[in-house]
């Protein structure tokens, strides 16, 4: 059991498959698996990771330290739009850099997906608390499987994360279902454009 009496598996799942970890790992993984030579993909993915995951997480950590945010999860929906707008802006800057540096196409695909998730998060978070965990894990898993079909078991992470977020009381069933559905739609759109 966690400190609040909720199951440990839900805490571990929620932390290990959190949006910031996926935003850090997935660009490198996807680009490395889909680009020849693999090092070129890894470098493109690393650029996405640094600008679109490391920088935003650093901003949130500073906010947590200063008492602006309760945790890295940024639980108050009112606090999310400015952070997600920053991520959307960083994805635009990163896209320009990837094009100028002839980055991996799959990095651009995943970057577009990150931008779309951030924009949806900004719009929806103004009036409702959509599950960003469910959205990002669904989007990540669908893009990964779409680009590398052998990774199909990654889709099992979607219901696991959704169940964890509900079990922790962070979201309602509707919030995780809508988040996962939006992630799936955005990922399908990103794959269609690639």
pLDDT string in tens for the chain (194-residue length): 655 677 999 999 999 999 989 989 999 998 898 888 999 989 999 999 999 999 999 999 999 999 999 998 888 888 988 998 898 899 899 999 999 988 888 888 888 888 888 889 888 988 899 999 999 999 999 998 998 899 999 999 999 999 999 999 999 999 999 999 999 999 998 888 76
Q: What is the pTM of this model?
A: 0.85
Helix extents (H) in the chain: 8-16, 19-34, 38-49, 55-65, 80-100, 105-125, 132-147, 157-167, 173-193
């Amino acid at each position: 059991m966690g400190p609040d009496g909720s199951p440990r598996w839900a805490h571990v799942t929620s932390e290990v498959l959190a949006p910031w970890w996926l935003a850090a790992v997935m660009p490198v993984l996807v680009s490395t698996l889909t680009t020849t030579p693999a090092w070129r993909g890894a470098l493109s993915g690393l650029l996405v990771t640094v600008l679109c995951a490391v920088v935003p997480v650093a901003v949130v950590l500073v906010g947590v330290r200063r008492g602006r945010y309760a945790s890295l999860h940024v639980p108050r929906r009112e606090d999310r739009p400015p952070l997600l707008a920053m991520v959307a802006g960083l994805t635009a800057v990163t896209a320009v850099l990837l094009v100028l540096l002839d980055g991996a196409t799959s990095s651009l695909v995943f970057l577009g997906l990150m931008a779309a998730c951030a924009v949806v998060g900004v719009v929806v978070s103004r009036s409702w608390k959509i599950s960003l965990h469910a959205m990002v894990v669904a989007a990540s898993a669908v893009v990964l499987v779409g680009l590398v079909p052998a990774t199909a078991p990654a889709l099992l992470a979607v219901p696991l994360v959704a169940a964890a977020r509900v079990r922790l009381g962070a979201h309602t069933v509707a919030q995780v279902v809508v988040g996962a559905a939006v992630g799936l739609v955005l990922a399908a759109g990103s794959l269609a454009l690639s």
